[in-house]
């Protein structure tokens, strides 16, 4: 067997370490909500404690900050000026590196969210921004626009989607992958036409573009038997291997009442499991993205329904949660060191549960103790789980499979504003928290 020269091996290992220390996608370097190993992060912080810097932003967003080295990438929707922005800040100081006004005009279709909700993605050379108006734009990390395109079908103003469309792009090798899960016919909602008028059939699909050139690498339909709004998904695709110590790489997609596994090199569907909606209820849109670990993929059915676990090698159902507290309508669960953590942001005083992947055994369920909704997804680093509620109150929970421990809670938001949905990014021994129009960076 050939061995790598020591210099090349050292360089390869340094690249792996760099990717591990960054937060390059919405759900982190492993697509499961967990930061790289060896991170040193504070358990306690506040608007005045352990603050490295804070930066004011030109508008709101529900997107997760994306971090690579000295760069932090964020989006913003300025509702007053009706502008969408792609922004890069210096990760050490919070000062702007560059800012682009990518479009001007309508920035939302409803009062619940806006077009700036999708998170960017980067490989350290380029960064992609996607917005709910269909604009997909790729810049160099220095801010030079390399290519752009709009993904809305010709003849339509918006996706065939009842609320404001949102999904985040991901990277697999040289490809930028997008999922578009929408209704199969055009319709009108709130006085706005959705989908191409007069079309008899609209497709949901997966598409990949060469990250460097924007040339389409592949595109496959992703059909479903769901009806009406249940065809719609706010989810983002994720990558995971069929075993923690290796196995085949799969692309996981949740929406349209089914969970599917795909070959990320060509989009081919490998297996399909479903459904959590046998009665074909028409308003079960899906929000939580899938998450995987130990060869098990989780899909969270909506509206206080169970969590379902599927074997990634066979596509067969392993278990579904029996406890009504183990459910998630919005928050994407996380996986770390052989355990799933499921945050229920709807249940009474809000609960988080630690679960064994193969059997679904609930090891513990802890009470968060907030009346506000939680729609931010939990993220984990340095043995701690971080998330915020709708009012901007941040919670820190110990990532301990033996017991529940609430380590810290602190107010960041304005209680009169109830739209804090951003997940915290954990990178390079720093915590990045977006609270309304302010981005905080914390460190020890």
Domain chopping of the chain, boundaries:
6-442
In whole angstroms, what is the distance from residue 140 CA to residue 127 CA?
A: 6
| pLDDT for the residue numbered 84 | 98
| pLDDT for the residue numbered 444 | 84
3-state secondary structure of 230: helix
> What does the block give as tokens for 252?
């996981």
In the β-sheet with 393-398, what is the strand arrangement from edge to edge? 379-381, 384-388, 393-398, 406-411
In whole angstroms, what is the distance from residue 443 CA to residue 431 CA?
A: 6
| pLDDT for the residue numbered 14 | 46
> What does the block give as tokens for 423?
């997940």
In whole angstroms, what is the distance from residue 304 CA to residue 166 CA?
A: 21
In 41-105, beta strands by DSSP E: 51-56, 66-68, 71-78, 83-90, 96-104
Q: Find, among 353, 347, 234, 320, the residue nearest to 284 by Cα.
A: 234
- CATH assignment of 6-442, given 3.40.228.10, 2.130.10.10, 3.30.390.10, 3.40.50.300? 2.130.10.10
CB atoms within 10 A of CB 280: 13
| pLDDT for the residue numbered 8 | 41
3-state secondary structure of 304: coil
In whole angstroms, what is the distance from residue 326 CA to residue 360 CA?
A: 10
In whole angstroms, what is the distance from residue 51 CA to residue 74 CA?
A: 19
Q: What is the pLDDT along the chain (444 residues), one digit of tens a residue?
A: 444 455 444 433 344 456 779 999 999 999 999 999 999 999 999 999 999 999 999 999 999 999 999 999 999 999 999 999 999 999 999 999 999 999 999 998 988 889 999 999 999 999 999 999 999 999 999 999 999 999 999 999 999 999 999 999 999 999 999 999 999 999 999 999 999 998 999 999 999 999 999 999 999 999 989 999 999 999 999 999 999 988 999 999 999 999 999 999 999 999 999 999 999 999 999 999 999 999 999 999 999 999 999 999 999 999 999 999 999 999 999 999 999 999 999 988 899 999 999 999 999 999 999 999 999 999 999 999 999 999 999 999 999 999 999 999 999 875 555 689 999 999 999 999 998 789 999 998
In whole angstroms, what is the distance from residue 120 CA to residue 107 CA?
A: 17
| pLDDT for the residue numbered 416 | 52
pTM score of the predicted model: 0.94
């Amino acid at each position: 067997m050939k061995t790598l020269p020591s210099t090349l091996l050292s360089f390869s290992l340094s690249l792996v370490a760099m990717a591990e220390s960054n937060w390059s996608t919405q759900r982190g370097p492993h697509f499961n909500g967990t930061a790289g190993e060896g991170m040193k992060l504070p358990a306690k912080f506040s608007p005045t404690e352990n603050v490295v810097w804070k930066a004011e932003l030109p508008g709101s967003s529900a997107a997760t900050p994306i971090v690579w080295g000295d760069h932090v990438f964020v989006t913003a929707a300025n509702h007053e000026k009706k502008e969408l922005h792609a922004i890069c800040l210096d990760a050490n100081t919070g000062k702007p590196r560059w800012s682009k006004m990518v479009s001007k005009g309508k920035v939302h279709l409803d009062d619940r969210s806006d077009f700036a909700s999708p998170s960017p993605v980067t490989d350290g050379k380029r960064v992609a921004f996607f917005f709910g108006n269909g604009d997909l734009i790729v810049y160099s990390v220095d801010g030079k626009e390399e290519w752009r395109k709009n993904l809305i079908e010709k003849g339509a103003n918006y996706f065939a989607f009842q609320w404001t469309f949102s999904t985040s792009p991901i990277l697999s090798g040289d490809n930028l992958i997008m999922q578009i899960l929408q209704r199969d016919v055009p319709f009108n909602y709130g006085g706005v036409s959705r989908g191409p008028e007069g079309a008899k059939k609209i497709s949901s699909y997966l598409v990949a573009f060469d990250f460097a050139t924007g040339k389409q690498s592949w595109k496959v339909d992703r059909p479903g038997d769901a009806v009406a709004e249940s065809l719609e998904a706010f989810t983002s695709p994720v990558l995971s291997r069929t075993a923690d110590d290796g196995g085949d790489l799969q692309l996981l997609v949740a929406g349209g009442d089914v969970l599917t596994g795909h070959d990320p090199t060509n989009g081919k569907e490998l297996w399909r499991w479903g459904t959590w909606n046998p009665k074909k209820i028409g308003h079960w849109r899906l929000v939580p993205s899938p998450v995987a670990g130990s060869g098990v993929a989780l899909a969270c059915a909506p509206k206080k329904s169970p969590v379902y676990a599927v074997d990634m090698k066979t596509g067969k159902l392993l278990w579904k949660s029996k406890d009504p507290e183990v459910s998630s309508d919005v928050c994407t669960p996380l996986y770390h060191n052989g355990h799933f953590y499921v945050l229920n942001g709807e249940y009474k005083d809000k609960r988080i549960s630690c679960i064994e992947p193969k059997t679904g055994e609930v090891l513990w369920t802890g009470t968060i103790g907030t009346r506000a909704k939680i729609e931010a997804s939990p993220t984990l680093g340095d043995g701690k789980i971080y998330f915020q509620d709708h009012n901007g109150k941040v919670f820190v929970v110990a990532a301990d499979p033996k017991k529940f421990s609430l380590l810290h809670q602190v107010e960041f938001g304005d209680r009169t504003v109830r739209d804090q949905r951003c997940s915290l990014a954990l990178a390079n021994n720093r915590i990045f928290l977006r609270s309304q129009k302010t981005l905080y960076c914390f460190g020890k």
